[in-house]
Amino acid sequence: MTTVTYLLALAELARAPFALVDEINQGMDQRAERNMHKMLVETTCKDDVGQYFLLTPKLLPDLVYHEKMKVLVINSGSFIPEDLSLKAMVEKRRQLNKSKGRLGRIEA
């Protein structure tokens, strides 16, 4: 958490065009990972902060996402859970967009 806090403080001060963090949430318990994600979203979705890339092989379910965020899922490899359905995720996103009155195309 100390490293995350330090990097997020730099993100607000350094004004770099982008930052990249690889697997910073590995080894965190669920509470720490949720706190880290919340801080990351609150800091990096401000107008005056550059792009922030978080690479991770895992994320907790039901995290809060900001409308400025883009989440890219690479669905390949021999360790993908069988219950992970890209079609189901796309359908859920379509339903959310409809309920919020947003128009947009999501393709699987």
If asked whether residues 79 and 105 sit together in one domain, one would say: yes
Beta-ladder partners of 54: 21
Is the domain of 83 the same as that of 48? Answer: no
Q: Is residue 31 part of a domain?
A: yes
How does pLDDT run along the chain (108 residues), one tens digit per residue? 777 777 777 777 777 777 777 777 778 888 988 888 888 888 888 887 777 787 887 778 888 888 888 877 776 666 666 666 677 777 888 888 888 765 554 444
51 belongs to a structural domain: yes
Residues 60, 34 contacting (CB under 8 angstroms): yes
40 neighbors 4 (Cβ within 8 angstroms): yes
Is 65 inside any structural domain? no
Q: Which helix (H) or strand (E) holds 12?
A: helix 2-14
Helix (H, G, I), strand (E, B) or coil at 33: helix
| Residues in a beta bridge with 8 | none
- What is the extent of the structural domain holding 25? 2-58
Residue 45 burial class via C-beta count within 10 angstroms: exposed 0-12, middle 13-18, buried 19 and up: middle
As for how many domains the chain has, the answer is 2
